[in-house]
Amino acid sequence: MSAIRIVKDNLKRIPGLLHVYKRIQKLQHCKVLCQPFTYTHNGLYTVHNSSFMDDHTFQQAFREAKAATNWSHPAPWRCYVNVWAATHSKNLKGDLVECGVYKGFTSHLLCRMLDIDNTDKQFHLVDSYEGLDYDNLTDSERQSGLNTKNVNYHDLLPGVQKAFAKFKQARVVKGYVPQILPEVKAETVSYLHIDMNYMHPEIAAAEYFWERMVPGAVMVLDDYGFRKHIEQKLAFDEFATRRDTLVLPLPTGQGLIFKY
């Protein structure tokens, strides 16, 4: 369905907005708006090529991750960015690390896509498995409602252990970031996914792993572009500036930093 069609269909139902509907009709000569969307998920709408959505291996791994973790990610393009970064990491030395695992959907998808057990890499799944550390929230994060998030995040460990029992290269690490980080047995890192939703532990994880990331390794920041996570964005911009680089903002809402 095209953008103009969605707007029109909704406007014409509201009598007071009929004049807006008629004006939009005049816009129909605008080619971009009349093209069908190829992707409409989680705040991202595009008419560009989204052929990864039809990739059979990706579809199959996506279904498997959903079945294994009893959860499905709302944004396949975000997941595909992780697939790309993890695939890129195969050609580098070092392990994969995710800080903020939840039920393990994204990491399960990657373990399948990479066939992790047939690589020399370990996949470290770091999470409290009990939610956020409220003491580590900033005032504005607290005000934005993050201090009520843990209702969704309790008792996650048994499910994750079960979902990853079949991968001999997966390492489930339970504890709060940053305190738990010395327990992560990854001397070198080729892929780092940071997805804990608040600034202090995310920056601490980035600082901790930066020295361990090999040149060419990618750090994927899940929350970078989301408006309610503006503090993280600003902190990661500063993190990158201090290293004389930039965060690449993606239209999915993620950010990427390359280790050089």
Ligand X SMILES: C[S@@+](CC[C@H](N)C(=O)[O-])C[C@H]1O[C@@H](n2cnc3c(N)ncnc32)[C@H](O)[C@@H]1O
CB of residue 52 to ligand X, shortest distance in Å: 17
Q: Which is nearer to ligand X, 102 or 209 (CB)?
A: 102
Q: Is 196 in the site for ligand X (CB under 6 A)?
A: yes
Using DSSP bridges, classify how beta strands 39-41 and 255-258 pair: parallel, antiparallel or unpaired. unpaired
Candidates 61, 177, 189, 247; binder of ligand X (CB under 6 A) is 177
Contact call for residue 153 and ligand X (CB under 6 A): yes
Contact in structure between 58 and 73 (CB atoms under 8 Å): no
Which of 188, 216, 210, 215 lies closest to 96 in space, CA to CA?
188
The answer to whether residues 105 and 71 touch, using CB atoms and an 8 Å cutoff, is yes
CB proximity list for 225: less than 8 A, separation 6 or greater: 233, 249, 250, 251, 252, 253, 254, 255
Name the minimum Å distance from CB 13 to ligand X. Answer: 35
Among the listed residues 100, 225, 253, 255, the single contact to ligand X using CB under 6 A: 100
Site size with ligand X, rule: CB under 6 A: 20
233 touches 193 (CB < 8 A): no
Q: How many helices (H) and strands (E) does the chain have?
A: 10, 9
Taking the C-alpha atoms of residue 16 and residue 99, their distance in angstroms, rounded to an integer, is 49
The alpha helices in 70-167, defined as continuous H runs, are: 76-89, 105-114, 139-143, 157-164
The smaller minimum CB distance to ligand X, of residues 133 and 237, is found at 133
- Stretch 10-29 residues interacting with ligand X (CB under 6 A): none
Using rule CB under 6 A, residue 58 touches ligand X: no
Q: Which is nearer to ligand X, 89 or 197 (CB)?
A: 197
- CA 143/CA 243 separation, integer angstroms: 31
N-to-C CA span, the chain: 42
Binding positions for ligand X, 127-146, rule CB under 6 A? 127-128, 131-133
Of 32-40, 138-146, 189-197, 244-252, which part binds ligand X (CB under 6 A)? Answer: 189-197
39 or 71: whose CB is closer to ligand X? 71
What part of residues 60-99 is at the interface with ligand X (CB under 6 A)? Answer: 73, 98
Piece of the chain touching ligand X by CB under 6 A; list 6-14, 45-53, 110-118, 123-131: 123-131
| Contact residues for ligand X, defined by CB under 6 A | 73, 98, 100-102, 105-106, 127-128, 131-133, 153, 156, 176-177, 195-197, 201
